């Protein structure tokens, strides 16, 4: 599922809202999540999972094209941890 599929699904469940309004709502939610992660905040959606930013330490990597060693600096990466309820739904087939 991609963002446009999500907008279609929500729009179908809320026929009183215009498609453009649903699109604005979905974009607003994703923008707010991005801003929170950028600030280093943690996002928790009960029953679904949590998002946080983790810091990866510097390391020596390898350029796959040339095979040469490359120094990779410290970087921040988004991380998602699945919630217990979602994990159970996926494992039990819904």
Right CATH for 42-94 from 4.10.520.10, 3.30.530.20, 3.90.1150.10, 3.90.230.10: 4.10.520.10
pTM over 0.85: no
Helix, strand, coil distribution of the chain in percent, nearest 5: 40, 30, 30
pLDDT in tens, the chain (94 residues): 999 999 999 999 999 999 999 999 999 999 999 999 999 999 999 999 999 999 999 999 999 999 999 999 999 999 999 999 999 999 998 6
State the DSSP code for 42: -
* DSSP-derived pairing of the beta strands 49-56 and 43-45: antiparallel
Which tokens go with 77?
């990466």
With residue 40 as reference, give the H or E element that holds it: none
With residue 8 as reference, give the H or E element that holds it: helix 3-13
């Amino acid at each position: 599922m991609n963002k446009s599929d999500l907008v279609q699904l929500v729009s179908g469940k809320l026929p009183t809202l215009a498609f453009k309004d649903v699109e604005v709502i979905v974009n607003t939610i994703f923008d707010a999540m991005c801003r929170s992660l950028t600030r280093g905040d943690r996002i928790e959606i009960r029953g679904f999972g949590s998002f946080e930013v983790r810091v990866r330490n510097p390391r020596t990597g390898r350029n796959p094209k040339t095979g040469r060693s490359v120094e990779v600096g410290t970087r921040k990466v988004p991380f998602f941890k699945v919630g217990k309820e979602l994990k159970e739904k996926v494992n039990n087939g819904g």
